Every structure is written in structure tokens, then in C-alpha cells.
Amino acid sequence: MSNTDLEDDLRGTFERAAATVPEAAGLTERATAGARRAQRRTWIVSGAAAVAVAAVAVVGFGLAGSHNQPTQPAQPPVAGAQAPAVETLTPQVLSAQAVSGTWRPVEIAGVKSLKAARPEDPVLTLRPDGTWVGSDGCNALQGTYTIGQRGAFTATSGPQHMMGCDNVPHTGVLKAAKRVALDGDALHFFGADGLQLASYARAR
């Protein structure tokens, strides 16, 4: 077979393949919303980094100041300025009460489509009594969880059906999660390696 034949066949194959791609809806909205979200995240991270740097600087200066003025150890000159930064960095005390509520997935590692149409809303509800229920989009899910004051997290899952759809793997997230962090209306789950597994937003 000549190269030209193969090249012609390749053109045909690519054209046929491309023609099967269904119309993608809402590309503009998804792209702009995604970019804005990423921008907001960058600002939050930059803000947190700035606060951390400020806190380290303030603590550093405070220590230096106390070394230089050993006669006044009880009242460092910058104690007042130190307080807000330290407060910002203090981790929120967590409990089943604090995280209880219904959450919708915003981002799950390795899951590309969280917006696909599904028979049910793929939400996750954490109850204050240490049980959780939810839906992966087409199957009811349930189980129990524990949460430590510093965010240590464990979960178990009960029996569930495995009907196929664009399933959202809440169970996988909860079982793999070792730590949880609450940031306003956002709930983040982290794995044993410290990397974020998923983030959820409080459902209104």
C-alpha cells in the first residue's frame, strides 16, 4: 500500500471520528466559570500565603524584640499586632455538628464530569449523629463517619446498589479520606498522602 492511500484513509478516519462527536453544550459558560474559579483560588492561596508570611515575620520580630529587651518579657511590644494573624491560622475545631449538612461535589480527584445529567442530584449529607447518606447520581449511599477535633476523618459504607450512570464516587472519597477541613461553606477531604481528594460546597 502506498503512503498516499494510507494518508487518504487517515483523513477519512479522522473526519468520520470527528463527525461522531456530539455537540458540547455550554462551553463558554464552563470555560469562563472555571477560569474565574481558578482565579479566585489563586487569590485565596496568595492571601493565605501573605497572611502566613506576615505571621512568621511578626513572630520573628517579636522573638527578636524579646531577646533584645530581656527586662520586659511579659509584654512584647508587638503582642497586639500578633493576635489577628495567629487567629487566622488557628485551625477550626471540627465536629460532626460543624460539618453536618448537605454537600454537593465541586471537585473530585480523577473525576472529570461532575456536571453530567443524572437521574438524581449527586449530593452527600453528613448527619450530626455520625452517619452519612447520599446519592452518586443514581444509587442511594449510606454509611458512618467519625471526625476528630483536628480534622482526622474515617468513614465506612453500607451496602449499596451499583446501577450505572455517571456515578459520583462519594463512597470512594469518604473511605480514602484521612483528614477533613472546613473552610466557610467549603469542605475539603484529604488522603493519607496529604493531597486533596475532593472538595464540596454546602448545598443551599
Partner 1 sequence: MEFEEYVSARGQELVRLGFTVSGDYQRAEDLAQIALMQAFRSWRKVRNTDDPHHYVRRILVNEFLSMTRRRSYGEAPTADVEPQRTVPDHATNIANSDHLWRALATLSARERVVLVLRYYQDLDDQTIADVLGIKPSSVRATASRALASLRKTRESHRVDERLS
SS3 of residue 60 by DSSP = helix
Nearest-approach distance from CB 110 to partner 1, in angstroms: 4
> From the CB of 3, what's the least distance to partner 1, in Å?
6
Binding footprint of partner 1 on the chain (CB under 8 A): 1, 3, 6-7, 9-11, 13-18, 20-24, 27-28, 30-32, 34-35, 38-39, 108-113, 116, 136, 162-167, 169-173, 175-176
CB of 17 or CB of 74, closer to partner 1: 17
CB closer to partner 1, 98 vs 138: 138
- E strand or H helix that includes residue 93: none
CA pair distance 157, 134, nearest whole angstrom: 11
d(CA 93, CA 56): 22
- For partner 1, which is the closer residue by CB, 2 or 90? 2
Alpha-carbon distances of 36 from 41, 109, 188, 199, rounded to whole Å = 9, 20, 19, 17
Q: Give the three-class secondary structure for 63.
A: helix
Q: Which residue number, 120 or 166, has a Cβ lying nearer to partner 1?
A: 166
Identify the sign of the CA torsion 25, 31, 34, 37: negative
In angstroms, rounded to a whole number, what is the distance separating the alpha carbons of residues 54 and 175?
Answer: 37
Please report how close the Cβ of residue 6 comes to partner 1 at its closest, in angstroms.
Answer: 6
Name the minimum Å distance from CB 121 to partner 1: 17
**Nearest-approach distance from CB 181 to partner 1, in angstroms:** 21
For residues 161 and 139, the answer to whether their CB atoms sit within 8 Å is yes
Q: Closer CB to partner 1, residue 3 or residue 90? A: 3
